[in-house]
Amino acid sequence: MDQNELKKAVGIKSVDFIKPQMTVGLGTGSTVYYMVEELGRRVQAGLKIQCVTTSTRTWDQAEKLGIPLKKLNDVDHIDLTIDGADEIDKNFQGIKGGGGAHTYEKTVALNSQRNLWIVDQSKMVTTLGQFPLPLEVNPFGCQQLFQRLEKEGLKPAFRIDKQGNNLLTDMKNYIIDLHLGQIKHPHLLADWLDHQTGIIEHGLFLDLVNTVVVGCDDGPKIIENIR
């Protein structure tokens, strides 16, 4: 199967984890797109749920499909969040934010009882870092922050949109991607980034995921993170 077929297969499979009356977090990205499409079909067939989303584009897709939606502030819990990932290492740590929605994604994930990630097999890695690590940053003082990241040897680059301008997130912030190649100590890096003024959120998603559904050539594979 090609990559899109793998994504579609895991997206459809992941909806099996959604049970009636759940409050579900809907992630963002190309694999999640297929999950939301399948969820829309099941809602139209009678599945009763409510959902929160991690981006305006997922909200718009879900709304068109008739999926009942709530704002995060209007729910008291989230039973399950299904989202994609850009990399997952052998310890179930991840990088997310390739779509620029990682602040919303992490907020929903941290407020979920369970997190399930859906990926094709190319996203499973031994060590994180080949995929650039996204930082959502405040535009105010972003150049000074950029220089600080450079001095630390973190190889930063502003993410640029198709018009050649700094890409804007849903929160109207910028994204700086760190081209690290390898992250040997993700928890130490996450702690350092957490203490840098101007960084709204980084794309290291650590100690969060419970289940991963991986798209393989012989079909979706379910991997449980036993902690």
CATH 3.40.50.1360 range(s) for the chain read 3-123+206-224
Annotated binding site for substrate: 28-31, 83-86, 96-99, 123
Residues paired with 134 in a beta bridge: 177
Based on DSSP, count helices (H) and strands (E) in the chain, helices before strands: 6, 13
CATH class for domain 133-200?
Answer: alpha beta
Annotated binding site: 28-31, 83-86, 96-99, 123
Answer whether 119's CB lies under 8 Å from 10's CB.
Answer: yes
The confidence score (pLDDT) of residue 135 equals 98
24 CB contacts (<8 Å, ≥6 apart)? 18, 39, 49, 50, 51, 52, 78, 79, 80, 81, 82
The confidence score (pLDDT) of residue 64 equals 98
The CATH T-level fold of domain 3-123+206-224 is Rossmann fold (3.40.50)
146 phi, psi to nearest 5 deg:
-55, -45
CATH 3.30.70.260 range(s) for the chain read 133-200
The confidence score (pLDDT) of residue 3 equals 86
Q: SS3 string of 100-161?
A: CCHHHHHHHHHCECCEEEEEEHHHECCCCCCCCEEEEECCCCHHHHHHHHHHCCCCEEECEC
Q: Annotated active-site positions, please?
A: 105
The confidence score (pLDDT) of residue 226 equals 78
186 CB contacts (<8 Å, ≥6 apart)? 89, 93, 128, 204, 206
Give this prediction's pTM. 0.94
pLDDT in tens, 127-142: 999 999 999 999 999 9
Where the chain has pLDDT below 50, the residues are none
